[in-house]
Structure 1
Amino acid sequence: MATKTRDILRHDLPDPLRRDVRLLGAMLGDSLVEYGGQGLLDDVERLRHAVIAARRGEVPVAEVTALVEGWTLERAEQVARAFTVYFHLTNLAEEHHRVRTLRERDTGESVPSSVAAAVEQIGADGDGRLAEAVAGLEVRPVFTAHPTEARRRAVVTAIQRVSDLLSAWDAAPESAPGAGARAEIGRRLREEIDLLWRTALRRHAQMDPLDEVRTAMAAFDETIFRVVPRIYRALDAALNPSGTGAEPPRAPAYLRFGSWIGGDRDGNPFVTARVTRDAVTIQSEHVLRALENACARIGREMTAHESTTPPSEALCNALAAARTAHPERLAAIERRSPGEPHRQLLMFAAERVAATRERDADLGYDRPGDLLADLRTVQESLAAAGAPRQAYGRVQGLIWQVETFGFHLAELEIRQHSELHEKALAQVRAGGERDAMTEEILETMRVVAWIQRRFGVTACSRYVVSFTRSAEDIANVHELAASLGEHAPVLDVIPLFETGEDLERAPSVLDGMLEIEAVRRRLAATGRRMEIMLGYSDSAKQLGPTSATLRLYDTQEALTEWAARNDVTLTMFHGRGGSLGRGGGPANRAILAQAPGSVAGRFKVTEQGEVIFARYGNPEIARRHVEQVTNAVLLASTDDVQDRARAAAARFRPLADKISDAARAAFRSLIETDGFAAWFARVSPLEEIAELRIGSRPSRRKAAQGLEDLRAIPWVFAWTQTRVNLPGWYGLGSGLAAVSDDGADLAGLHEAYASWPLFGTLLDNAEMSLAKSDRDIAARYLELGGRPELTETVLAEYDRTHRLVLAVTGHERLLENRRVLSRAVSLRNPYVDALSHLQLRALASLRAGVSDEAERARLEELLLLSVNGVAAGLQNTG
């Protein structure tokens, strides 16, 4: 790990990335020697060389197995920890290089998939299409607490410190006079890497929902709040290159963040009404502190004097009113800033935001609109005084932040299962005594009403009903809310369609919703706007990845037609997971693959677990991600893109249907095999994953041990650990074989791949999933189940899918056309192999049965350490 080898060099790493990997790896190697002696590092290196040689076919896999089996459990744990820490450092180095690359190419030119590129493309069409597209633009990322982030918060923050030091190392000169500074940075890097090595890599205490809320706040505090004005500025600069920052902005505040963290109680008994109230309070505390600091900073910087920049009458009136209401405060501000009226009002606004946070009703703002009014008074006064750059520069950035985050930061959404509403309503109608769950549902609605009174309706009005089967499921929620009388909240009740059957009946459910009086009132109040949610995870677990993708596409088509018929502006909320088996993959490509007309300038999507920190943990990466999403939303709504997709869908849909039918049959045949659930639990660390304590939510909705109640996250997470990655590709090979192996030419499949974004994305995602799998290691896991016929079935489908995906894409190897991703996967795979062999040792022993409690505990610890490491190596695991 500490030595230079041809194995890393052969992956064609860019020189700066190679240097970073070497540097961090060498420092980790030094820590291993200091901790466990040269023997520990030698063992790590022995395993590393062995798995690389095995992957090349130079040594038998049995040799790697023998090496791992020969260690004590204590040594095996240490080696597993070493590889896991190495993955954390490698991931950090790649992120660091990605940021470096983004900064190097951010020269003001039109970067592919940027907002500037979309503006340029749409603007070329003329006819006012660009202005219309921008005016209707909405992007809504919704953060969830779905448990897929295997790293402890302590590990995440330790990695961040290493990242900061690596940036400082890059910036420091290598020779005098800065050599001393660089040496000190190097010393601190060693210190932090050593601390990371010594830090427990997994949680030993169960998370509670408020822990999850506070963890998510780090992304808002450190990245999102600060990067949002830069995103809007990029759009404004694309729309008005010569005038941005000196003229009224043309870019609207089109981002709105949402959160399920502390609001999603579907199957999580630990999310209570009190938790929901506390979650919003925590969010508000964070955003108000951020706004207070921003107001104060900009106020301190706004030193324009009244002699050069005279205040408007409106600004003078605002200061006079403040002086009357709070004479001592204004007097203090005026003493510090004499003759600087714009600065005075901004500093007073900062004090009012602080008072809002402290619940000082006399001084604080009642609502975000009042703060916006003060900021616009400052802005308009500056512009009228001939200082447009002061008006539309940093002040505009602050206005965008208030418009985006309000005083609540992110809209908290409630989610609950439809069955519980039905039971609760029956008790409410019957009168008399109610059980604890009914009281909890009603108390949650009272809390929503409290949130709305304090922060406004937009802070919390969306109520998602999981497993919506009929319009009655929506009516039940409205009736429960109405039973609270004057304490009833305003609700936008959102049906969540998750299973294949639910997706098919979605239009008829919406027909029924139009008959509900409460729904009609909300449509009238919102300008006939409605939202529905599409579940990717459960549909994929039920139908398989291929058929679920097409079923979701069909549903979007049908709902788009329904909205047009009923004059409804419909937003489709995509419940996509991070992994490919749960609808994951590159977001911008997925948006462009949606059914024509279904985006219409509006895109709402869940962001979860490891995806939150991967996409929003670094400002440059967050900006790039949101720009790519914005680019795709704008382009997906253009006539040209929709017409091409519509024509391709019409041409190739019969082919896709044939593929889908065979793929679904193959998938269902597998999971409906007698004893499949028990076999899956035996060949994977499914049940042990709960011990990682990566979230507050149980892995199952109910106590039953079947597949139906198993949540999609542990289903995908466990298959990833086995290196099978089955949820990302299984059935596709049989589907493609149904078309290509019956004598038909591959030409149609080639054309579909090249010209239909949906089909292209489906195959590319399967290709990525296959690239992160390993057939030989997967076979060893599957053999633990003692069902050779199931092992043979899975591996045969793997071979079939691998062969036909390459045949259709025309690639000679997986990810041939995606150089950066291919490099990352190829670099990691041998090291993931090392952890897989360690995990297999533990899993095989545990499945064979261990009577000694101490030995069993050590095996379980090794297993969970390796699970953590594989998750770090493969990244999008759940």
Structure 2
Amino acid sequence: MPDELRADVRLLGGLLGQVIAEHGGPDLLADVERLRKAVIAARRREVSVDEVAALAAEWPVERAVQIARAFTCYFHLANLAEEHYRIRILRERDTGAAPLPESLGAAVAEVGRERTAELVRELELRPVLTAHPTEARRRAVATAIQRISTQLAEYNAPARGAGERAETRRRLLEEIDLLWRTSQLRHTKLDPLDEVRTAMAAFDETLFRVVPSVYRSLDAALGLDTGSRPPLARAYIRYGSWIGGDRDGNPNVTASVTRQAMLIQAEHVLTALENATTRIGRSLTVARTYAPPSPALRAALAEAEDAHPDLVSELATRSPREPHRQWLLFLAARIAATRRREMDLAYRSPADFLADLRMCQESLAQGGAPRQAYGELQHLIWQVETFGFHLAELEVRQHSQVHAAALEEIAKGAVSERTEEVLATIRVIAWIQERFGTTACSRYVVSFTRSARDIAAVYELAAHALGDRAPVLDVVPLFESGEDLANAPSVLSGMLELPAVQARLAANDRRLEVMLGYSDSAKELGPAAATLKLYDAQEALTAWARANDVRLTLFHGRGGALGRGGGPANRAVLAQAPGSVSGRFKVTEQGEVIFARYGHAAIARRHMEQVTHAVLLASTPAVEERTAVAADRFRALAETVATASERAYRALTEAPGFPEWFGLVSPLEEIGLLRLGSRPARRGLGAPRSLDDLRAIPWVFAWAQTRVNLPGWYGLGSGLDAVISAEDGAGLKELQAAYAEWPLFASLLDNVEMSLAKTDRAIAERYLALGGREDFSAQVLAEYDLTRRLVLTVTGHSRLLENRRVLSRAVQLRDPYVDALSHLQLRALAALRAGDELDEQEREQLNTLLLLSVNGVAAGLQNTG
């Protein structure tokens, strides 16, 4: 471990130990240390796993709960220390001597300045925040961690005096004490508006400030003297959100919730714009002598004085002979009025605000003050272009069957409450468009699209809801199952025959969006087969778009976990099918991923630059050609891997009794008690009878808790073995060549390797034994052994993550401590599964222990679903 990271871990761990001893006495700290040393010894094979399990079982449940809390808090602090180390390393590497790898400067150097400038004109990056329940931490816990983060940064700041350092250490101890005393578990269920407000933290604290800095970085890479000339970079990022709009399977998201979600978003962005405009306006003390206002600005100020004499007179008194300052402070007052809905002063649209800002910019430039024109004022312009008055486009999603049932009811005349809600949602979309503009809410995603009829249904419902006053809708088909992915091009061909779709294509330069679902396809087919089928779908859809003169955007519904299409985002972009990116990339950002990527400004900026770098490179002919050649060469190999891996995966997951066994070996039922989000964990009531009843998130989350991580790797070993067995030795060489030359195959194996690295065979065996089915357990462990062996053989690594030093260190740092929580969880799970004679108090205590351990393991593994 690097010295700086080791020092932070020791500092935070030591302070936590002090807090634990102060709260629970030295005996509690001693028990925590006993378990910590035992799991480390087990990793070194100095003691057996059975001995550790016996230790975890010897304490009273109340004591075990306190120990679980201690390890959970430790993980929060270790994660924080690692985040600070990442930021420190990023800053140390950014010397200016050469561009950082995977940065915007590197993209310009690799692609070329002229070609990058061409690509930037069409560049689109659309991250979509979703409320899928994969953030296990309470907001209060996340906030406590942020306060500790602030104090740690202060503690490590250079040139600090001894007194300052001692005071910061005291504050660190105070905040860690508060973290210890904060309940790790939610006691009330989140509602959708809680989720909206939680997501706003990422915007308030990070995104609003970071986005213009990303554009500035691109502008600096494209030309000299950024900040003193008109920008060469344009605002290419547009955020979307499903939080408060995604009603598929979530009856708690209503039309009223969607309306309130947009109002919350607008309140946050208008407040941010008001503050930014005020700050820049107050600092713009440019005297008219040194930067005379343009005729347009003089006329605008005169017109403003006629309409609002008291306000403008006050501003002139406060800022005499400073017309640009007066103007910006007047604009800040107009934004405040927009937020308060004072219509005589409010802006009607962000376009009007932009026009006023650009007038000021042009005036400053003409008056000989280009640095004031293209510096902070340009940042504000970029922020308005990116976020508008609505912050993020609120997207609506609903299941195709809901629409079909609604139309059937309307035809019969007996309309249910659910159908009324569908119609009310469309009316709310119209209201949002009228209030905030079409770009605030026009995309309507249809889950489980099977035919063009599913798309037509939305337009028909819109006509029923509002007639000729129906809102502008871009209906987006979502293809999730293997069969639906294969049928996608024919569904799109049917869409082209719909008059409503034809009208939209005519109005939007023939732009069409299609969403690909990674979560459900992976749950149905297994990780390897799903990855390859999704790639095939991308290829087919790209060819279809080219043949039909359509500008296609593929919307990637990726989860945070590896079993749901997660993994490094920049590698995922470069692994896309040739021609499928073309300067446009749209992807979901879910749950804990939102705060991992956007919780700190430096990490958020690095993430956005890496993804943009990948989008630019993936859109170049050289990269597209290289990928196409590799895909063509290894097509047959991929088919063999996909077919054999899917067969192995289905042989397990479709076997009689598998869903019931899965419920016994994992904390699946108990995860629902964590109150992770407003969305139900499964479709329907009762225990799942098949995987179709179970959503992808709890499926992945539960397997992660068992330390099996089955959705991230199961079946690939059988797929690789099929190639090796069939080719008489040549197959292995072809697999190694595919890993070296084909980004998709390399990404698949690298992601599986990460998932295997987070798997612990010895602990997994103990979970699997809870199900009482030795045949299933043997099947899972045999596939694990095969997959691990063959992945190492194909990659040429002697151990997992051999070439990923940072990630390997992170996993090794956490593994023993995750083991401690796993043993505590196993104790609780085994007692609950066999607990027919438990009284209510015992059951409640065991559930608390189980849920705390689930929370802690999620923090330790750094992913849930």
Query: Shorter-chain TM-score category?
Result: over 0.9
In structure 2, the residue matched to 1:877 is: 864
Within the candidate set 263, 274, 279, 1:292 is matched to 274
SS of 1:597's equivalent in the other structure is coil
Contact conserved, 1:173 with 1:179, CA < 8 A, in 2? no
Which one-letter code corresponds to 2:694 in the other structure? L
Point out where structure 1 has 5 or more consecutive residues left out of the alignment: 1-12
Contact conserved, 2:210 with 2:601, CA < 8 A, in 1? yes
| 1:60 equivalent in alignment to 2:48 | yes
In structure 2, the residue matched to 1:735 is: 719
Which one-letter code corresponds to 2:194 in the other structure? D
In structure 2, the residue matched to 1:708 is: 692
| 1:111 equivalent in alignment to 2:100 | yes
In structure 1, the residue matched to 2:851 is: 864
Q: Please show how residues 597-676 of structure 1 align to structure 2 within 5 Å.
A: 597-676=579-658
Distance in 1, Cα, partners of 2:24 & 2:599: 33
RMSD of aligned residue pairs (Cα, Å): 0.9
Which one-letter code corresponds to 1:234 in the other structure? S
Contact conserved, 1:449 with 1:489, CA < 8 A, in 2? yes
Distance in 1, Cα, partners of 2:507 & 2:572: 32
Distance in 2, Cα, partners of 1:104 & 1:736: 41
Q: Please show how residues 528-547 of structure 1 align to structure 2 within 5 Å.
A: 528-547=510-529
Distance in 2, Cα, partners of 1:172 & 1:588: 33
| 1:257 equivalent in alignment to 2:242 | no
Distance in 2, Cα, partners of 1:122 & 1:733: 37
Within the candidate set 735, 756, 760, 1:774 is matched to 760
In structure 1, the residue matched to 2:360 is: 378
| 1:167 equivalent in alignment to 2:162 | no
| Structure 1 residues 141-196: Cα deviation after superposition (integer angstroms, max 9, x where no partner) | 0000000000000000000000000000011646xxx2111111111100110110
Which one-letter code corresponds to 2:240 in the other structure? G
Q: Please show how residues 480-499 of structure 1 align to structure 2 within 5 Å.
A: 480-483=461-464, 484-499=466-481
| 1:23 equivalent in alignment to 2:4 | no
Distance in 1, Cα, partners of 2:268 & 2:192: 17
In structure 2, the residue matched to 1:153 is: 139
| Structure 1 residues 448-488: Cα deviation after superposition (integer angstroms, max 9, x where no partner) | 00000000000000000000000000000001001221441
Q: Please show how residues 366-515 of structure 1 align to structure 2 within 5 Å.
A: 366-430=348-412, 432-483=413-464, 484-515=466-497
Within the candidate set 574, 598, 602, 1:592 is matched to 574
SS of 1:495's equivalent in the other structure is strand
Distance in 2, Cα, partners of 1:102 & 1:768: 23
Distance in 2, Cα, partners of 1:446 & 1:853: 48
Distance in 2, Cα, partners of 1:583 & 1:727: 10
Contact conserved, 2:476 with 2:515, CA < 8 A, in 1? yes
Distance in 2, Cα, partners of 1:811 & 1:599: 31
| 1:120 equivalent in alignment to 2:100 | no
In structure 2, the residue matched to 1:3 is: none
> How far has the Cα of 1:414 moved from its partner?
0.1
In structure 2, the residue matched to 1:99 is: 87
Within the candidate set 772, 787, 790, 2:773 is matched to 787
| Structure 1 residues 625-651: Cα deviation after superposition (integer angstroms, max 9, x where no partner) | 000000000000101111111101111
Contact conserved, 1:415 with 1:463, CA < 8 A, in 2? yes
Distance in 2, Cα, partners of 1:739 & 1:53: 39
Distance in 2, Cα, partners of 1:53 & 1:17: 23
Contact conserved, 1:172 with 1:181, CA < 8 A, in 2? no
Point out where structure 2 has 5 or more consecutive residues left out of the alignment: none
Distance in 1, Cα, partners of 2:95 & 2:304: 45
Contact conserved, 1:172 with 1:182, CA < 8 A, in 2? no
> How far has the Cα of 1:132 moved from its partner?
1.8
SS of 1:143's equivalent in the other structure is strand
Contact conserved, 2:136 with 2:855, CA < 8 A, in 1? yes
Contact conserved, 1:563 with 1:569, CA < 8 A, in 2? yes
Contact conserved, 2:39 with 2:52, CA < 8 A, in 1? yes
Q: Normalising by structure 2, what TM-score?
A: 0.99
In structure 2, the residue matched to 1:51 is: 39
Which one-letter code corresponds to 2:385 in the other structure? E
Which one-letter code corresponds to 1:54 in the other structure? A
Q: Please show how residues 796-815 of structure 1 align to structure 2 within 5 Å.
A: 796-815=782-801
Distance in 1, Cα, partners of 2:27 & 2:725: 54
> How far has the Cα of 1:429 moved from its partner?
2.6
Contact conserved, 2:72 with 2:859, CA < 8 A, in 1? yes
Within the candidate set 163, 180, 196, 2:163 is matched to 180
> How far has the Cα of 1:489 moved from its partner?
1.1
Report how many residues are paired: 858
Which one-letter code corresponds to 2:770 in the other structure? L
- Of all paired residues, the percent bearing the same amino acid is 69
Q: Normalising by structure 1, what TM-score?
A: 0.97
Q: Please show how residues 229-378 of structure 1 align to structure 2 within 5 Å.
A: 229-240=212-223, 242-378=224-360
Within the candidate set 729, 737, 744, 1:744 is matched to 729
| 1:223 equivalent in alignment to 2:206 | yes
SS of 1:603's equivalent in the other structure is strand
Contact conserved, 2:136 with 2:864, CA < 8 A, in 1? no
| Structure 1 residues 381-422: Cα deviation after superposition (integer angstroms, max 9, x where no partner) | 000011111100000000000000000000000000000000
> How far has the Cα of 1:701 moved from its partner?
2.2
Distance in 2, Cα, partners of 1:52 & 1:646: 47
In structure 2, the residue matched to 1:4 is: none
> How far has the Cα of 1:266 moved from its partner?
0.3
Which one-letter code corresponds to 1:137 in the other structure? L
> How far has the Cα of 1:850 moved from its partner?
4.0
Which one-letter code corresponds to 1:710 in the other structure? L
SS of 1:572's equivalent in the other structure is strand
Contact conserved, 1:173 with 1:182, CA < 8 A, in 2? no
Distance in 2, Cα, partners of 1:224 & 1:42: 43
Which one-letter code corresponds to 1:865 in the other structure? L
Distance in 1, Cα, partners of 2:415 & 2:281: 54
Distance in 2, Cα, partners of 1:658 & 1:80: 45
> How far has the Cα of 1:795 moved from its partner?
0.1
In structure 1, the residue matched to 2:195 is: 212
Which one-letter code corresponds to 2:82 in the other structure? E
Distance in 2, Cα, partners of 1:233 & 1:131: 14
SS of 2:692's equivalent in the other structure is coil
SS of 1:687's equivalent in the other structure is helix
In structure 1, the residue matched to 2:662 is: 680
Contact conserved, 1:763 with 1:805, CA < 8 A, in 2? yes
SS of 2:552's equivalent in the other structure is strand
Distance in 2, Cα, partners of 1:739 & 1:49: 44
Which one-letter code corresponds to 1:52 in the other structure? I
| Structure 1 residues 653-706: Cα deviation after superposition (integer angstroms, max 9, x where no partner) | 111111111100000000111100000000000010000001000011222623
State the 4+ residue runs in structure 1 displaced beyond 4 angstroms: none
Distance in 2, Cα, partners of 1:393 & 1:662: 57
